[in-house]
Amino acid sequence: MQLLDGKALSQSIQLELKAEVEQIVAQGGRPPHLVAVLVGEHPASASYVRNKMRACERANFRSSLKKLPVDIAQEDLLAEIASLNQDPEVDGYILQLPLPAHIDEQLVTQAVAPEKDVDGFHPYNLGQMLLGEDSYLPATPMGMITLLERYGMETSGKEAVVIGRSNIVGRPMSVLLSRKHPQGNCTVTVLHSRSQNMAEHCRRADIIVAAIGQANFLTADMVKEGAIILDVGINAIDDPKAKRGYRLVGDVDFEGVKEKVSAITPVPGGVGPMTVVSLLMNCLKAYKTGAGKALEKQ
């Protein structure tokens, strides 16, 4: 069994990004600038944002945090987004989800300028991805594709199952695995809450992406020998022995399946760090198409 170590790979990629940024600065450019917009004090969201800011520091990116009150009016949030869209010093920004209930999440997401949408959530970028055109890919699916690429996992002609159909992970991942690409060309089945015979579908799969949000959902009896498992889930379960009284597990019963599969991502330390580094990769791309192009013209 090969452990697809997202933490180690993300650190390696951050060093690659750091070297590229150092070269940009040496040539008279500025570092890429990533902004995180955090509405309210959601603990998990605040933790995710901290991880992203730390990754920026390690890669020599400039990072900024814009904290907004939980009761901010929707029109005021839209005004903040418009300001970021127009700021030439901001290459990309992320609007940390979820947003408070009184905010129309879809409306606000669509207000983000596509060229600064390093999360890859804007309909324009999703449409470009669907067409196979150049775009900012959603960060979590992009991270998984990068894992497959860097670890040399063969995907062409394989049967893939994606468990979950969210717009952030499941649906885009199914598109990426089926596209004409070295880490694509799969025959893809998408499973969800209304799917019948889920275990039967999973047992046929060479690659399984588990993104359903249920702790230890995928068990050994649902996995065939030699499968590749990408576990997107992060679930807290009670554990009196743990320092905090709980521990994090994925959507896959890691201990149950690890001896049966050929490769698997751990939780934590698998897909999560790759999501963060994908944001940085998208931000550098945004810099190169915006501020970087302006520098070349000088």
> Cα–Cα distance between 202 and 224 in angstroms, integer?
8
Give the C-alpha separation, 111 to 83, whole Å.
11
Q: Which residues are catalytic?
A: 52, 96, 119
CA–CA separation, 181 and 173 (whole Å): 13
* Residue 295: its H or E element: helix 291-297
Contacts of 117 (CB under 8 A, 6+ apart): 92, 124, 125, 136
DSSP one-letter code for 61: -
Close Cβ partners of 127 (under 8 Å, ≥ 6 residues apart): none
Amino acid at site 157: G
The annotation places the binding site for NADP(+) at 164-166, 234
From 176, 146, 149, select the one nearest 160 (Cα to Cα): 176
By the 8 A CB rule, do 190 and 165 touch? Answer: yes
CB 230 within 8 A of CB 265: yes
Helices (H) and strands (E) in the chain, counts: 11, 11
What residues form the annotated binding site?
164-166, 234
Sequence letter at residue 161: V
